[in-house]
Amino acid sequence: MVRTLSGAPRDLRCWTFLAAPSPLAFWARRQVHETAIHRVDAQVAAGQPITSIASRFAADGIDELLTGLFGREAPDPPTGEVVGIIGFEPTDWTAGWTVRILANRLEAAPGLGPCDVTIRASAEVLYLLLWNRRSEAGLDLTGRVELLETWRDRCRVTWS
């Protein structure tokens, strides 16, 4: 993958499914986070400790997941009431995110607004939590903590 991306022409044209400065930038970003999550899975499966994830990298991965993968245009218009609003606030990074959970979709945006529950932790911990690779144990949760279970039940990356 590194060889292919490094050797690709800078003006490469190919299919992408999220906005990016270029297709090459899109695929480099998408694959580095995909690989990182699979690395975590392999380390856990092997009974090894999870290698540290840098705050900047984790924050970029949170942003890609929330505003990119979960922020994609849904096929149906939003319906139903807001189930809840979750704020994700990294303690070691300047960004934060607000996620509105509706009956049929998520709406994620950078920045922290009014939330029903706010989850504060390092960007690394939030990255692993959002990818359902970590429990909520030891997190700083304020508000309706049951919304974290709603997140776990409903928030999955899908390709339909």
The single-letter DSSP state of residue 11 is T
Would you write out the chain's pLDDT as a tens digit for each of its 160 residues?
889 888 888 898 998 888 899 999 999 999 999 999 999 999 999 999 999 999 999 999 999 999 988 866 666 666 678 889 999 999 999 989 999 988 777 888 999 999 999 999 999 999 999 998 998 888 999 999 999 888 888 776 655 4
Q: Read off the pLDDT of residues 55-92 as tens digits, 9 standing for 90 and up.
A: 999 999 999 999 988 866 666 666 678 889 999 999 99
Sorted by sequence, the CB contacts under 8 Å of residue 66 that are 6+ apart come out as 88, 97, 99, 108, 130
Compute how many other C-beta atoms are within 10 angstroms of the C-beta atom of residue 135: 11
Q: How far is CA 75 from each of CA 72, 104, 152, rounded to the nearest angstrom?
A: 9, 10, 22
State the DSSP H helix or E strand holding residue 99, giving kind and residue range, or none if neither.
strand 97-102
Fold of 2-6+18-154: Nonspecific Lipid-transfer Protein; Chain A (3.30.1050)
List the alpha helices (DSSP H) in 2-144: 2-7, 23-45, 55-63, 123-130
